[in-house]
Amino acid sequence: MSRSVVHTDNAPAAIGPYSQAIRASGEFLFLSGQIPLKPDGDIVRGDIKDQVTQVMTNLEAVLAAAGLTFANVTKTTILLSSMDHFPAVNEVYGGYFPSDPPARATYAVAGLPRGVDVEIEAIAVF
């Protein structure tokens, strides 16, 4: 796996748990967006931190099935029902990427599947 953080002082520095860019080569794994849906079909509702934890657990399981970990993730996209959730999501999400976090984009959207508050997709490299 070839994965390295790309940083320049000629662009704004990261203001959260993400990198400006990740240079990657080799085979990629594109992970579909995960919502706070448990494997048994129950949806985690209520506290946004609990929802994000379930989403990250789901992503971790998919990565593990491919023999990868969060260290292999190069890009994520976070979709939120409201940007009011951003600080709490950042707090939980950042715990999964303690160093050299992936590049990331975050958007507020009009609606998410099953009326949840968060969905996260990822791209990983082998």
Report how far residue 126's alpha carbon sits from residue 122's, in angstroms, rounded to the nearest whole number: 13
Give the per-residue pLDDT at 83. Answer: 98
Confidence of residue 122 (pLDDT cuts 50, 70, 90): very high
Q: Is 49 a domain residue?
A: yes
CATH code assigned at 53? 3.30.1330.40
CB 35 within 8 A of CB 115: no
Query: Of 114, 33, 16, 43, whose CA–CA distance to 79 is shortest?
Result: 33
User: What's the domain count of the chain?
Assistant: 1
* Spatial separation of the C-alpha atoms in residues 96 and 113, rounded to whole Å: 24
Count of beta carbons in the 10 Å neighbourhood of residue 55: 26
Instruction: Please state the rounded mean pLDDT for residues 48-61.
Output: 96
Residue 41's domain spans which residues?
2-6+26-125
Mean pLDDT of 95-115: 96
For residue 1, pLDDT beyond 70? no
Half-sphere exposure of 32 (CA within 13 A, CB side): 2
67 domain residue, yes or no: yes
